[in-house]
Amino acid sequence: MPRYLVLTELFLPTKGGTAVWAAEVYKRLGGKEIHIVTAAVTGAAEVDAVHPNAIHRLSLKRVRWLRPESLAMYARFSFTSLTLALTHRFEAIHAFRALPEGLVAWAVARLTHVPVVIYAHGEELTTWGTGGKYKAMRFALRHADKVIANSEHTRDTLLTMGIPAARIAVVYPGVDVSVFRPGLDISGLRESLGIRPDEKLVFSVGRLSRRKGFDQMIRAVAQLRAEDIPVRYVIAGIGEDADYLDGLIAEHHLTGVAHRVGAVSEADLPRWMNACDVFAMPNREINGDNEGFGMVFIEAAACGKPSLAGEAGGTGSAVLHNQTGLRVDGMSVDAVADGLRSLLTQSALASEFGRTALCRVGREFAWERVADKIRFLNTPATPLAPAHD
């Protein structure tokens, strides 16, 4: 069994793809010989009680009156990680982001002479500007022995930052195929919103932020309804754009047609994926912020559903255009409406995309497959020299 020290500020029960990835992969790689250092959050005790890895929780909150605010957080992270590294014979240290985890991992690894693996997710590479934070991130990545990119797009971004291609491995995120699967009981979901059997249902889920493209979806649904296409739209999730989206629904006279249902439970999310005809998130890039991969597309695929994605960012790894769904220009309402129209009015095409997507998940995206890729990474036995400019 591999012996890893895993550093991740984000871990269950915290929501989000990074937290899920950290929890799902490493429990498939080993038991208590894998130690995970993460944040103390509400509900952690219940997760830790059943998780097979050794979980170490500590306060990683920033202190506003300190300069920098993250000083105490880095100190706690570093002390705990170094203590564990000095008292255990780890094969490698895995960090789920370049900052703060990667910088801590680099420092601890150099003191204990073990290799460092850092995950790169995409968004952080293009949204942290060019100042001190970006330079620290680039330093950590360039001193890692292996960088795991979640998509080809993320790999290409890393290359522009001077990370040697030989040190980059592309490993896609995964999905729990025992949870997200076709054939789940969906009784009551559509009925709760008055959606008739003859109406098509499009479903979106994610943080309610502008780059996700939910606003473009509302505009596109309004277009299709004007064409007498019987479509209904459900948006799940919470975030800063909630009031903005509610306003758009009212502006386009879609009350009772487009529904914002807030956060959905872990049990209900795969049911909603089963209940819909199309999953949609026509993401776009805004001020350098884009979708690094899009795990929700894989969750939809695992339920046998076709997806409508934006062309920006790394969604091309999650949705294969004209094979498992469509990728469109998320900046264009017309392009979003055209893609949605194709999927809703060409049932045979949508069904074929869904079948192909489901088969692809089985081959590439089950968490067991992801764990195998992490296990067999060609991590060197001793740390490499840093990349040079």
- 166 lies in the same domain as 122: yes
Q: What is the pLDDT of residue 388?
A: 55
Tell me the residue length of the chain.
Answer: 389
pLDDT band for position 123 (cuts 50, 70, 90):
confident
Q: Determine what percent of the chain is predicted with pLDDT higher than 70.
A: 96
Q: What is the pLDDT of residue 383?
A: 56
Ramachandran region, residue 253 (left: φ > 0; alpha: ψ -120 to 50; beta: rest):
left
Q: What is the pLDDT of residues 299-331, one digit of tens each?
A: 999 999 999 999 999 999 999 999 999 999 999
Q: Chain-wide mean pLDDT for the chain?
A: 93
Helical (H) or strand (E) element with 356: helix 347-364
Where in the sequence is the domain holding 153, given as residue range(s)?
A: 4-174+367-375
Domain at 334, CATH number: 3.40.50.2000
Domains in the chain, number: 2
- 71 lies in the same domain as 156: yes
> Quick check: helix, strand or coil at residue 287?
coil
Residue 384 lies in a domain: no
Q: What is the pLDDT of residues 195-230, one digit of tens each?
A: 999 999 999 999 999 999 999 999 999 999 999 999
The structure's pTM equals 0.89
Q: What is the pLDDT of residues 231-279, one digit of tens each?
A: 999 999 999 999 999 999 999 999 999 999 999 999 999 999 999 999 9
Residue 385 lies in a domain: no
Residue-wise DSSP of 48-113:
HHH-SSEEEEE-----TTSSSTTHHHHHHHHHHHHHHHHHS--SEEEESSIIIIIHHHHHHHHHHT
- 105 lies in the same domain as 230: no
- 206 lies in the same domain as 332: yes
Helical (H) or strand (E) element with 258: strand 258-262
